[in-house]
Structure 1
Amino acid sequence: MTDERENLPPTTGVELKRGPLRVGDRVQLTDPRGRLSTITLEEGGEFHTHRGFLRHDDLIGSPEGIAVTNTYGIEYLAFRPLLSDYVLSMPRGAAIVYPKDAGQIVAQADIFPGARVIESGVGSGGLTLALLNAVGDGGYVHSIERREDFAAIARGNVDNYYGAPHPAWRLSVGDLADVLPESDSPGSADRVVLDMLAPWENLEVAADALAPGGVLIAYVATTTQLSRLAEAVRDSGRYSEPYAWETMQRGWHLEGLAVRPQHRMMGHTGFLLTTRRVADGTVVPERKRRPAKGSYPATAEDWTEDDLGERVPTDRKLRRTRRAVGQPRPDQQTPHN
């Protein structure tokens, strides 16, 4: 019985992920202590450390997952790097979106095969790779980057990962507000991803590009950015109530019964905020939430606990708590001698 999938055109880059190791492949070597080194295989090439070297020819033509021994007797496991490994080790022109956040973006924004995605702020191309993997050859990712040098580095990283230009990728240099209206039809985008300093400045152009029901997802670094973005989303009237979160990643030490959290973890890298594009003419229902209505002072110095969403304890609760800890009210206190 013939598998019909055999007649489908190959997916971009898939040949670089299968089969024996070849010249030009990136290979990740892991030593007995778990330390990683990434090399690019060359005929006659050698990988040197202060404790011996190994020959690239010992890897070329071999399957992934083999163990190779260097001249000092140290064994290394050899694998092609996963996407997360590639992103963390690739050359960077700008800070990257870490794999833990890129995975959240793909999942929470529902980046599906064939989706049309606008990405603003390409950085070094790490998130772009995750988006291209998700949409596939039949999708469309338009990355817009203000700096030409960042765009060039991102193009190199993406092309090197896939071994050729990706057919679903378009890269433009310029401001989102200038490029997007000229390049993509209104309502043609399924998803918009904003990774920039002031994403609130581009909410309108993003809304114009998004189809009703489309997802806007933004990546910001600080709480002040997050607060301003959330309020701008609400004020625009073109989006649903925003939702924000962050992800922290902690590894575990696994050795027999000594199973415990590692001392180091990948903590705060950025906040993610998602919202949906509502249909034109829709009045977004007011959401009942703290702080109380009308409690948005102009300056942070005027903010109250209620403005910040903190519950102010009642006098009754304070009296009960004082009693619980053995502290009488001021009018019941006995003067000290």
Structure 2
Amino acid sequence: MSSIVKQGDWIILYHSDKHRYVVKVEEGKMFHTTYGSINLSSLIGLKYGDEVETNVGEKLTISRANFVDRLETIHKHTQVIYPKDAAYILIATGIGPGSRVVEAGTGTGYMTAILAWYVKPSGRVYTYEIRKDFYEKALKNLENLGVLQHVEAKNKDIRNGIDEEEVDAVILDMPDPWTVTEHAKNALTHGGTIAVFIPTMPQLEKTVVSLRKTGFKQIEPTEIQLRKYKPIPEELRPETLGVVHTGYVVLARKL
């Protein structure tokens, strides 16, 4: 991997832990921060770890952005599956290179991008989104993140059926996933997993009932909790503020 900043690279411009900026290097583009502006063209050819000055003399350090950093640039016009829940879903479903995964709804493309990143280079994500405006925005996000080639996006209502067969996993993030459990079972390969993300207890109950009626096995409703601590030795304790609840994850297998 090159240590030189190139056109099209995703980078972090770091000022402090509270002020860091993730941006794609594009020639001729100005990037504006709290600490002034930078012409991104001036970064091309510099080394990672170099410092650059804004137009008002503030120094920022150039670092390489990873994929999670890049996800921060997605404008979240819908609620997304948080990284802690997404990570659990990935591990629990066994999704990896070569996996074929059905997802609904696409929303911003946040979870779609994560799935695409992990199924590449030979896998495929088939994502369904009923709203045309969300579908179009998600396509732009996926293209910008460089994962669109691993995705087949559909502006369709998954409640009307799933086109794919013998898929490894079905991921549902929608208000009424119980309307899709039969379609999901038909689409899954034997041994495949369905993962449902829902925010409320009534939705959780309806989903579990539907999975049982549909004949899924190993039904596991779960809540993943994450507790962050202040990174100060003299004050090492849980952070005062934080997200207490994101949602529930229900896993089930076709066996």
TM-score by length of 1: 0.69
SS in 2 for 1:262: coil
Q: Larger C-alpha radius of gyration, 1 or 2?
A: 1
Identity of aligned residues (%): 28
Q: Deviations for 1:127-149, whole angstroms, at most 9, x for unmatched residues?
A: 11111111112112111111121
Moved over 6 A (4+): none
Match of 1:86 among 62, 66, 70: 70
Match of 1:184 among 159, 164, 169: 164
Deviation at 1:179, TM superposition (A): 4.7
Task: Count residues with an aligned counterpart.
Answer: 255
SS in 2 for 1:134: helix
- Aligned equivalents of 1:266 and 1:88: distance in 2? 17
- Per the alignment, do residues 159 and 203 of structure 1 end up closer, same or farther by CA in structure 2, a change over 3 Å counting? same
Name which of structure 1's ranges 66-75 and 192-201 shifts more when overlaid on structure 2. Answer: 66-75
- Per the alignment, do residues 59 and 225 of structure 1 end up closer, same or farther by CA in structure 2, a change over 3 Å counting? same
- Aligned equivalents of 1:223 and 1:217: distance in 2? 16
| Residue 227 (structure 1) aligned with residue 205 (structure 2) | yes
SS in 1 for 2:45: coil
Deviation at 1:213, TM superposition (A): 1.1
State the one-letter code of the partner of 2:207. L
Pairing of 1:1-337 with structure 2 (within 5 A):
19-32=3-16, 34-49=18-33, 51-162=35-146, 165-166=148-149, 168-180=150-162, 183-185=163-165, 188-236=166-214, 238-278=215-255
Deviation at 1:275, TM superposition (A): 0.5
Q: Which has the higher contact order (CA 8 A, sep 6+)?
A: 2
Unaligned runs of at least 5 residues, structure 2: none
- Aligned equivalents of 1:89 and 1:116: distance in 2? 26
Could you say what the CA RMSD is over the residues aligned between the two structures, in angstroms? 2.3
Deviation at 1:122, TM superposition (A): 0.7
TM-score by length of 2: 0.89
Partners of 1:121 and 1:143 within 8 A in 2: yes
Q: Deviations for 1:107-142, whole angstroms, at most 9, x for unmatched residues?
A: 111112211111111111111111111111211211
Deviation at 1:30, TM superposition (A): 2.1
- Per the alignment, do residues 49 and 122 of structure 1 end up closer, same or farther by CA in structure 2, a change over 3 Å counting? closer
SS in 1 for 2:47: coil
